[in-house]
Amino acid sequence: MMRRLKKAGYNNLVTRTSAELDLRNQAAVTDFFAEERPEYVVLAAAKVGGINANNTYRAEFLFDNLMMEANVIHQSYVQGVKKLLLLGSSCIYPKLAPQPLQENALLTGPLEYTNEPYAIAKIAGIKLCETYRAQYGCDFISAMPTNLYGPNDNYDLQNSHVLPALIRKFHEAREADLPEVEVWGSGNPRREFLHVDDLADACFYLLEHYSSPEPVNVGTGEDLSIRELADLVARTVGYTGALRFDATMPDGTPRKLMNVDKLAELGWRYQIGLPEGLRAVYKEYAEQPEAAVMR
């Protein structure tokens, strides 16, 4: 988002790392907003992780995300922020919602158990934006991205998302000349992937062109199976060994393809294809794998 804003000529940007400002701390967030008085807010901060992290740290994923959203959204109202954009997630939709996922599927069925706490927190954020808009006239909007990848990703093998985890696994296997790589799950679930630079561009577009209580899906409208993704990552990395799928690990939602018609009708479409984006991300990782893993 910072790269996209600077590209558009915006330089008066205010940010804080989690070490500098704990968004779960109501008093600290109140002081920050009173001091900085931002005009526009993009709420991308969240407690996030892959399927294992979601299922292991269920309390933190619910509590931390609820607190961050409530504090930032409320103070945006208090301080008269002109526009706020909340970033949610495709996991807000019911586990067995019709595919591709449409925005009106929200709250029409049970959630996927492994990421239910995170999904509930994000749904609460959507409803905060919606209710502050309805009650106070705040121009607060929300966007629901699909699975993301790109620069500065998290490559922790226990807590990262599937794509960076696969990049690291295949890279290390190639370097060590290992005969096989283990991939979590059956390989059958289908997932959609969007480069973070495309998401940032979509967010910038929505800030300029969208003002409505309903969330907007942001994705490519195209997906592939985890098995196909693993094959693609292996080819990109140059790993030629075998793949072994560990069916004892959870698969999660069978499919999470986004319907992106709403965003297309507004005039936006993604630009970076998965093979192209993956090559660029792997090049960055391969140049400094130790630094990437330590992030």
Active-site residue list: 118
Phi, psi torsion values for 98, nearest 5 degrees: -55, 145
**CA distances, 245 to each of 60, 158, 170, 189, 228 (Å):** 29, 16, 14, 12, 12
Question: Distance from CA of residue 274 to its chain's centroid?
Answer: 16
For residue 255, list its beta bridge partners.
190
Q: How many CB atoms lie within 10 A of CB 283?
A: 10
| Element holding 128 (H helix, E strand) | helix 116-136
Closest to 51 (Cα-Cα) out of 242, 259, 256, 270: 256
Binding-site positions for NADP(+) read 87-90, 122, 145-148, 161
* Total residue count of the chain as it appears in this document: 295
> Closest Cα partner for 217 from 287, 126, 121?
126
Structure tokens at 171: 């890279």
CA dihedral 19, 204, 156, 237 (to 10 degrees): -150
Residues at the annotated binding site for substrate? 169, 184, 191, 251
Q: How many whole angstroms separate alpha carbon 170 and alpha carbon 176?
A: 10
List residues bridging with 245 in a β-sheet: 183
248 contacts: CB under 8 Å, gap ≥ 6: none
What gap in Å lies between CA 103 and CA 139, rounded to an integer? Answer: 19
Q: Sign of dihedral through CA atoms 51, 52, 56, 60?
A: negative
